[in-house]
Chain A
Amino acid sequence: MNRRSFLSWGTAGMATLGSAMAVSFGAVVRFMTPSVFYEPPQTFKIGKPLDFAYGAPTFLADEKIYVFRDRDKGFSVASAVCTHLGCTVKFFTNDDQFHCPCHGSIFAESGKVVHGPAPRPLNWFEVTLARDGQLLVDKDKIVPASYRLMV
Chain B
Amino acid sequence: MNLIREIWQSIVRRDPLSTDKGKSELVFLNVWLHIHPAKVKKEHFKFNHTFYLGFITFFLFLVLVTTGIALMCYYRPYPSVAYQDMKDLQFVVFMGPFLRSMHRWAAHAMVICVFLHMCRVFYTGSYKKPRQFNWVVGVILLLLTLGLSFTGYLLPWDQLAFWAITVGTNIGGYAPFVGNYIRELLLGGHTVGQEALIRFYVLHVAVLPSLVILLTIVHFWRIRKDGGLSRPIWKLKPNKPEELVTIGATPQTAPLQAVAASSDKTYGLMEVVTGKPIFETVAPEEEEDAVFSYPFAFFREAIALMATVTVVMATSLFWHAPLEELANPAKTPNPAKAPWYFLGLQELVSHSALIGGVVAPSLMVLALLVIPYFDRNPSRRPSDRKWAIWLFTIFVVINLVLIVIGTFFRGPGWAFVPPWVHVVAGAE
Contact = CB atoms under 8 A, between A and B. Distances in A.
B353 A119 contact: yes
Contacts of A38: 189, 193-195
A84 B168 CA distance: 11
A14 to B, nearest CB: 26
A100 B331 CA distance: 11
Interface string A75-104: 000000000111110101000000111111
Nearest to B185: A32
A34 B191 CA distance: 13
A87 B166 contact: yes
Given A39-B189, A103-B350, A104-B350, A85 B171 contact: yes
Nearest to A62: B330
Contacts of B412: 101
Contacts of A64: 329-330
B411 to A, nearest CB: 10
Contact of B195 (A34, A90, A119): A34
B189 A34 contact: yes
B428 A85 contact: no
A55 B365 CA distance: 50
A37 B357 CA distance: 27
A85 B353 contact: yes
Interface string B148-175: 0000000000000001001100110000
B360 interface: no
B284 interface: no
A39 B335 contact: no
A102 B332 contact: yes
B415 interface: yes
Contacts of B195: 34, 38
Given A64-B329, A87-B336, A101 B170 contact: no
A61 interface: yes
B134 to A, nearest CB: 28
A122 B29 CA distance: 67
Interface in A97-117: 99-104, 116-117
B346 A103 contact: yes
Contacts of A92: 428
Contacts of B193: 38-39
In this complex, the member of B190, B330, B428 whose beta carbon has the largest number of chain A beta carbons within 10 angstroms is B330
A37 B190 contact: yes
B28 interface: no
A8 interface: no
Interface residues of B, number: 34
B5 interface: no
Chain A interface size, as a band, is: 20 to 34
Nearest to A34: B188
Contact of B190 (A29, A39, A102): A39
B362 interface: no
A141 to B, nearest CB: 16
B189 A88 contact: no
A113 B343 CA distance: 24
A33 interface: yes
A88 B170 contact: no
Nearest to B330: A61
A104 B191 contact: no
B349 A85 contact: yes
Interface in B309-364: 329-336, 346, 349-353, 357
B349 A117 contact: yes
A104 B414 contact: yes
A101 B350 CA distance: 11
Contact of A39 (B191, B333, B351): B191
B184 interface: yes
In this complex, the member of A34, A62, A116 whose beta carbon has the largest number of chain B beta carbons within 10 angstroms is A34
A84 B353 contact: yes
30 contacts: A33-B185, A34-B184, A37-B190, A38-B194, A38-B195, A61-B331, A64-B329, A64-B330, A85-B166, A85-B167, A85-B171, A85-B349, A85-B353, A86-B191, A87-B163, A90-B428, A92-B428, A101-B333, A101-B334, A101-B412, A101-B413, A101-B414, A102-B332, A103-B414, A116-B351, A117-B349, A117-B350, A117-B351, A117-B353, A119-B353
Interface of B: 163, 166-167, 170-171, 184-185, 188-191, 193-195, 329-336, 346, 349-353, 357, 412-415, 428
Given A101-B412, A119-B353, 18 more contacts: A33-B184, A34-B189, A37-B189, A85-B166, A85-B353, A86-B167, A88-B330, A88-B331, A90-B428, A99-B413, A100-B413, A101-B332, A103-B346, A103-B349, A104-B350, A117-B349, A117-B352, A117-B353
The 4 closest A-B pairs by CB, nearest first: A61-B330, A101-B334, A103-B350, A104-B414
